[in-house]
Amino acid sequence: MWTLLVTLVLTIVVSLVMPKTYKGIASVLLNSKGVDPVTGMASPGLLMPGYVATQIDVLGSKNVALRVVDRLHLATNPVIIQQFQDDADGKGTVRDWLAELLLKKLDITPSRESSVVEISFKGADPDFVAAIANAFVEEYQKLSIQLKVDPSKKAALYFNDQIKVSRDAVEAAQSRLTKYQQEHGIVSIDNRLDVESNRLNDLSAQLVMAQGQSMEAASRKRAAGSSDSPDVANNPLIQNLRASLSNAESKLAELGQRLGKNHPQYQSSKAEVDQLHANLVTQMQAASNSVGNNASILSQREGAIRAALAEQKSKVLELNRTRDELNVLQKDVEGAQRAYDTTSMRLSQTRLEGQAEQSEVAILNPAVPPVDAWMPRLPLNIALALVIGTMLGLGFAMLAEMLDRRVRSAADLVDLAQLPVLGSIQWGAPQRPRSKLAKAFAPRRARLN
């Protein structure tokens, strides 16, 4: 009992003498929706299981502590500088020393089933601990924005350089294409190729027609040497000459029957027949020559069409080659343009991300100066003193009993004194007289004398 009493008194005295410690508490909410506000796409980093643990490590980092020191201008306080010199003997810097000291008094407690994180700081001044807790929260929020924006700004600088390279590539490819078109006199390769292809088809059709006409003219030329040639037989002049020759021959035969061969009429008629015959032969030869000349003309025309067709084929093949080379240059231009468009789009997106001052950290409850001290807590200390004092009192009682050993039985006397026991006296306290009602309900016992 004395031990318990001393423990309680000492606990109350120490609790009243100890300086008061206050605790500033602030809480933040980690918005882990996983959606990028710029692109609208899900961000896998916010959905990772270790996201909250990573944010806690960032919150408790030395970088945030140094920001808090600079924010509150603690490194320029003369009192703190003197404490640093007394404590660290001038080793290191006051900023690092303060950052380590603040981190030792900082507690970060994440919630078990939510994204709320509690930040608490302990100290002797209630206003100071609230200011430190709020400074940690605000600097952590700024740092989270900076960690998100800085990579986008660096990426924007990279894409800005790449877009210049892509623009130069597009201009170079377009220049090569324009120069090639100027060298080959190409305005529209597709329309020109269609015209030349149509011309090639027309020449092919004309060649087929000319070949047929040439073959027909050659056949007529071979048949023109005989009188059965259709071109000779159907000639109107030759037909008239033949009719006149037939009439003249009939008249000559009639005169030969009536007159002699030396008769003037007979001689005149014979001369007429000879003249008609000579004219017929001459006209037949002229008709045959005309058929031959027509065959020659058609043959020359066939050769000209064949030469024009060969030239047109070479021209179309050259256009096809030119088109293939032009398509390669156009594909180079299109590829460079696509690369430029993609780079430009990524540059715009990274610029927006670099300018988005939105953080996934929201201040849920800012710290306010606490009214009551966090330590010492007198009721809790008294309860602990009761438990500890009781345990110490029991321990001291058992120790005193072990040090002051008493004889309570014959066996103890034999063990301690090493003497034989001759007899023992059984003593019992006299019983109090019981009432009649108690005797009535008490069980009866048999007595042995």
Q: Taking the domains of the chain in order of start, what are their residue ranges? A: 20-159+357-381, 189-353
Q: Structure tokens of 136?
A: 């940690």
What Rg value do the Cα atoms of the chain yield, rounded? Answer: 65
DSSP strand pairing (116-123 vs 106-110)? antiparallel
- CATH classification for the domain delimited by 189-353, as one of 1.10.287, 1.20.1740, 1.10.10, 1.10.3470: 1.10.287
Distance (Å, whole) CA 5 – CA 350: 71
Secondary structure of residue 435 in the 3-state scheme: coil
Query: How do residues 346-384 score in pLDDT, each as one tens digit?
Result: 878 777 776 666 677 888 888 888 877 766 667 777 888
- What number does CATH give the domain 20-159+357-381? 3.30.1890
Going by pLDDT thresholds of 50, 70 and 90, the confidence category of residue 447 is very low
The answer to whether residue 446 scores a pLDDT higher than 70 is: no
Distance (Å, whole) CA 154 – CA 42: 22
User: Minimum mean pLDDT among 2-11, 374-383, 432-441: which range?
Assistant: 432-441
Contact, 74 vs 98, CB < 8 A? yes
- What residue ranges in 70-196 does DSSP mark as E strands? 106-110, 116-123
Question: Which residue has better confidence, 129 or 406?
Answer: 129
341-356 in b/e burial notation, b at 16+ Cβ within 10 A? eebeebbebbbebbee
Query: How do residues 315-345 score in pLDDT, each as one tens digit?
Result: 778 777 877 787 888 888 888 888 888 888 8
- Per DSSP, what are the bridge partners of residue 380? none
Angle (CA) 33 37 40, round 5°: 85
Phi, psi of 112 (to 5 degrees): -75, -40
